[in-house]
């Protein structure tokens, strides 16, 4: 499914959209699937629906936190090992060429940063850190991982499948054995990301809106735009009369706002674009 390439007409249209420069790019989970990170709503995920962790559930329920951190402990090594794919690299090339002036991402995998796009704005935060809900201390996820494994070594032999949010499925019997690791102050630790049902910090939203406002056009890459946190930027651009391009497999919430709509694989399309524009 992911190797569904663009037609010659689609590629020419995308090149024409990109070449004038001044782009803000909004990326979603469909960009990272080729790095081995599953998504929630893409074509590959519709056969395996999954309920994401909800913010209120996490903060109010110790059982929910135990379930989250147990699964996260097992899923983290594979998630952390993911590397940028062709799509991330091409977007960084476009940035280096001056055609892309800003990148906003809904992803929490840090792969834009790993690809060299150091100024990418991570709208939902990143899983590379945990935060204490009581004292606000930030803890590197690798440091937390070492503690989780030290207290729960009996679970490390479990064979699991990676899930969209960096965790993994685990049965109830194994969950019952799991020991949560708290902050040194005794407070609850939460991944430093925006959960479903939680608001993106207002200052971050305003910064992102300003980045889109300064752009000539907005290009959406690999997002269904189902959640408001991403769709708001498409709607804002369309209301200002900025061109909106969408490159994604499957329908998106922003299709009615798009001046250019390309339904094709993200990696193969951006790779073809790189060759078309002689980026590498």
Tell the residue number behind the tokens 């150091």, with chain if given.
118
To which residue do tokens 């010659």 refer? 8
Q: Which residues contact 112 (CB under 8 A, 6 or more apart)?
A: 27, 84, 88, 91, 92, 103, 105, 120, 122
β-pairing verdict for 125-132 and 189-193: antiparallel
Question: Cβ distance 212 to 229 under 8 Å?
Answer: no
Check: CB of residue 25 under 8 Å from CB of residue 103: yes
Kindly state the tokens that stand for 130: 């945990």
Helix (H, G, I), strand (E, B) or coil at 130: strand
Residue 260: phi and psi, rounded to 5, are: -140, 125
Residue among 88, 112, 124, 192 flagged as catalytic: 124
Q: Are 169 and 77 in contact (CB under 8 A)?
A: no
Confirm if 91 and 220 have CB atoms less than 8 A apart. no
Q: Would you state the structure tokens that stand for residue 111, as one six-digit string?
A: 């792969």
Backbone phi, then psi, for 240, in 5-degree steps?
-90, 0
- 112 flagged as catalytic: no
Of 46, 24, 166, the C-alpha closest to 107 is 166
Active-site positions? Answer: 124
């Amino acid at each position: 499914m992911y190797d569904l390439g663009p037609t010659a007409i689609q590629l020419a249209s995308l090149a024409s959209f990109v070449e004038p420069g001044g782009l803000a790019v909004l990326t979603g989970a469909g960009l990272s699937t080729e790095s081995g990170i599953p998504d929630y709503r893409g074509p590959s995920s519709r056969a395996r629906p999954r309920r994401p962790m909800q913010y209120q559930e996490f903060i109010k329920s110790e059982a929910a936190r135990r379930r989250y951190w147990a699964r996260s402990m097992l899923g983290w090594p594979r998630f952390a090992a993911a590397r940028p794919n062709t799509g991330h690299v091409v977007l960084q090339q476009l940035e280096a060429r001056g055609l892309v002036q800003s990148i906003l991402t809904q992803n929490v995998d840090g792969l834009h940063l790993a690809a060299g796009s150091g100024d990418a704005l991570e709208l939902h935060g990143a899983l590379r850190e945990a935060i204490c809900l009581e004292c606000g201390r930030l803890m590197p996820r690798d440091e937390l991982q070492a503690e989780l494994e030290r207290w729960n070594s009996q679970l490390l032999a479990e064979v699991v499948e990676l899930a969209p949010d960096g965790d993994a499925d685990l049965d109830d019997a194994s969950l019952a054995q799991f020991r949560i690791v708290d902050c040194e102050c005794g407070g609850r630790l939460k991944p430093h990301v925006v959960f479903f049902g939680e608001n993106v910090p207002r200052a971050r939203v305003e910064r992102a809106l300003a980045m889109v406002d300064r752009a000539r056009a907005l290009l959406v890459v690999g997002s269904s735009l189902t959640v408001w946190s991403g769709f708001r930027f498409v709607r804002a651009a369309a209301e200002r009369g900025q061109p909106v391009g969408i490159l994604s497999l499957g329908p998106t919430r922003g299709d009615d706002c798009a001046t250019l709509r390309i339904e094709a694989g993200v990696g193969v399309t951006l790779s073809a674009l790189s060759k078309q524009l002689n980026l590498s």
